[in-house]
Amino acid sequence: MRARLASANEHKLAELRAALPGWELALLDRADFPPETGATFLENARAKARFGRLHAPADEWALGEDSGIEAAVLGGRPGIESARWAEDGVARLLSELEGATERGARYVCALVAIAPDGRELAVEGVLEGAVAHDPRGSEGFGYDPIFVPLGEQRTVAELGDEWKRSHSHRARAAAALQSALSGSG
Ligand code: IMP
């Protein structure tokens, strides 16, 4: 199954390739992705997938992905603002949580897949965890140096890309997509 991911993020591509065996996945080669104006991860993922549907080869699937981190004590922020915080996102999140003992957070990934015939599948994957007090580790991207998954002591950046490929919010969304596909005939 061939698909184009409407994203310029190589990390997302690598994680989804590992999590979607049997798919032949490539980035959609565009520079003009639509702005993220949706109110939810799912709306943004759908907008990207629909953009992908317009520009991907007609015989390939179009995939849209939107993801981010939600801190409980911040009422779910940065959430869909995660990318906009991203340049100094780690420093900003640490500073917004300074002194906070409640550091629960979750990674969320929404994935929308549109088939060549226009059939649309939408799924989500979540990874629960907490925000560390200091950045640790060098793998992954974005908030990985400060995100500690539930049941782990190490950050995602310490756990590494290999761990991420089978446990991340993106891997979970990909698994949900696979089961939605096998259930939808
Ligand atoms: P998007 O391209 O709008 O989906 O941006 C997602 C943003 O959320 C990224 O730029 C990261 O800052 C953050 N993010 C999403 N997924 C991850 C992840 O797996 N690890 C760390 N940060 C992530």
- At 105-151, the pLDDT tens digits run 999 999 999 999 999 999 999 999 999 999 999 999 999 999 999 99
Active site residues: 66
Q: Are 11 and 27 in contact (CB under 8 A)?
A: no
- Pick the residue whose CA is nearest to atom 7 on ligand 1: 83
By most ligand atoms within 8 Å of CB, the mutation choice from 40, 126, 143 for ligand 1 is 143
Residue in this structure with the two tokens 């991860």, named with its chain if needed: 41
| Short-list 71, 65, 47, 66, CA closest to 3 | 65
Looking at residue 133, its pLDDT comes to: 97
pTM for this entry: 0.96
